[in-house]
Structure 1
Amino acid sequence: MPKYLLLKHYRGGPQPHHPFPPMDQWAPEDVEAHMAFLRHVSATLEERGELVGVQALTPERTWVRYGGPGAAPVTTDGPHPETSDLIAGWFMIDVESRERALEIAAHVSSEPGPGGGPLYEWIDVREIMSGRPADD
């Protein structure tokens, strides 16, 4: 079965369906409803045997690169790419087909936002490479 990574971005996607403020500006009950929905999705996928893993990430990050032979890694906390490039979290799923991965991603996109309505969040669906890339 193919595995897919469903990436949730802080503000990623082609165009926001609705402009929502960042989650740190939401009412506490809206944040809890959002997180409860995601926990329910995780539990449902686990029951179906489709969940490989799920994680949420904080917005804090450090960039690291190889420093060269015998050198320490080079790190920096900026400058950063646009906010739309930052990953908020992910689901790793193992499903029967790409269609099922898209169905799950669409469901995750319906997660509640401020006021309880769906976020219509763009979810980046990426298949996990199981072999070497195809030659173009």
Structure 2
Amino acid sequence: MKYMIQLNVPADQWDAIMSSFSADDTKAMFAHMNALNEDLVSAGEWVDGQGLGGPSLVKTVRAGSAGRPQVTDGPAQEGRILAGYWLVDVKNEDRALEIAARASASPGPGGKPGNEPVEVHAIPGDPTEA
């Protein structure tokens, strides 16, 4: 079963959060995430995953007249922004939840686990293939 595991952070705190990481904190966080990614690849569970840029790199698009894109800078809604994701193909939901907990435990400033909320979204199969 496929799942999308999403790490979200407060959009209005993005810059403060990012600047609170020292160089060593950043290295520790990337080492944690890279180890998680490598384990997913080794287990054959990795489909895709990316860390994303902050709110200043987001564009929101709506269909305008004649279907032309109307583009605004920033996220569509205030609140949390997607900071990164994993797309995994695992045997069951419990495994997806284990992966999400490991992502949540990524070290933050000072090496303490961040324990950021991580969302797990089931991706239903194509009903036409049943």
Which bin holds the TM-score, normalised by the shorter protein? 0.7 to 0.9
TM-score, normalising length: structure 1:
0.81
How far is 1:112 from its partner?
0.4
Q: Are the aligned partners of 2:3 and 2:121 in contact in 1 as well (CA < 8 Å)?
A: yes
How far is 1:95 from its partner?
0.2
The Cα RMSD (Å) is 1.8
How far is 1:80 from its partner?
4.4
More strand by share: 2
Q: Is residue 2:73 matched to residue 1:73?
A: no
More helix by share: 2
How far is 1:74 from its partner?
0.8
CA deviations over 1:80-113 (Å, ceiling 9, x no partner): 42242x1001001000000110011111111101
TM-score, normalising length: structure 2:
0.85
How far is 1:3 from its partner?
0.3
Q: Unpaired runs of 5+ in structure 2?
A: none
| C-alpha separation in 1, matches of 2:75 and 2:9 | 17
Q: Is residue 2:9 matched to residue 1:10?
A: yes
